[in-house]
Amino acid sequence: MALDKPYLDVPGTTIFDAEQSRKGYWLNQFCMTLMKSENREAFKSNERAYLDQWPMSEAQKQAVIDRDLNRCISLGGNIYFLAKIGATDGKSFQQMAGSMTGMTEEEYRDMMIKGGRSVQGNRVVGEDGDAQAHRQPQGQHSPKGAH
């Protein structure tokens, strides 16, 4: 019998469950190594060579090099692990979270100051909230930002 996964229809959201964790095992374990400053230096000096030390998929390595956090997450990454990459780059959690929306840093920060993203239309896939797939990427500078 299949496991119950009631969270699969939440828009713009990937729940880090056992299946995702299995997929992202080496990606996440690579991230953990960035908690040591000498490893952060080694990673920064040659990202490709550093990544090649782990049996990650090519897609995972490329997503890291591109700093494409949405792609990292779809390939099994978890934000608390991926945050070590952001920290290595000197990015805050807010900059990292914002980067996954398509908004500029300023747009995202303004949204938070105004009380954050509304849950209206963003509870279930198929509604019309700003986190729904048909409204990505967000932000004024994106092709779909004219909403």
Partner 1 sequence: MAHLSASVYTSHVPAIGAALDLGKSEEPYWQPLFKGYEYSKQWLKDNTPDVIFLVYNDHATAFSLDFIPTFAIGCAAEFQPADEGWGPRPVPMVKGHPELASHIAQSVIQQDFDLTIVNKMDVDHGLTVPLSLMCGQPSSWPCPVIPFAVNVVQYPVPSGKRCFQLGQAIQRAIKSFDEPLNVQIWGTGGMSHQLQGPRAGLINKEFDTRFMDLLIEQPEAAAAIPHIDYVREAGSEGIELVMWLIARGAMSDVNGGPPVELMHRFYHVPASNTAVGHAILKNR
Radius of gyration for the alpha carbons in the chain, expressed in angstroms and rounded:
17
Phi, psi of 88 (to 5 degrees): -60, -35
Compute the least distance from the CB of residue 117 to partner 1, in Å. Answer: 4
Binding mask 95-114 for partner 1 (x = CB under 8 A): -xxx-xxx-----x--xxx-
Positions in 43-62 near partner 1 (CB under 8 A) = none
Q: Which is nearer to partner 1, 58 or 114 (CB)?
A: 114
Q: Following DSSP, what letter does each residue of 16-77 receive, concatenated?
A: --HHHHHHTHHHHHHHHGGGSHHHHHHHHH-HHHHHTTS---HHHHHHHHTT-HHHHHHTT-
> Contact positions toward partner 1, by CB under 8 A?
6-7, 10-18, 21, 25, 28-29, 31-32, 34-37, 40, 69-70, 73, 78-81, 83-84, 86-88, 92-94, 96-98, 100-102, 108, 111-113, 115-119, 122-124, 131-133, 136-138
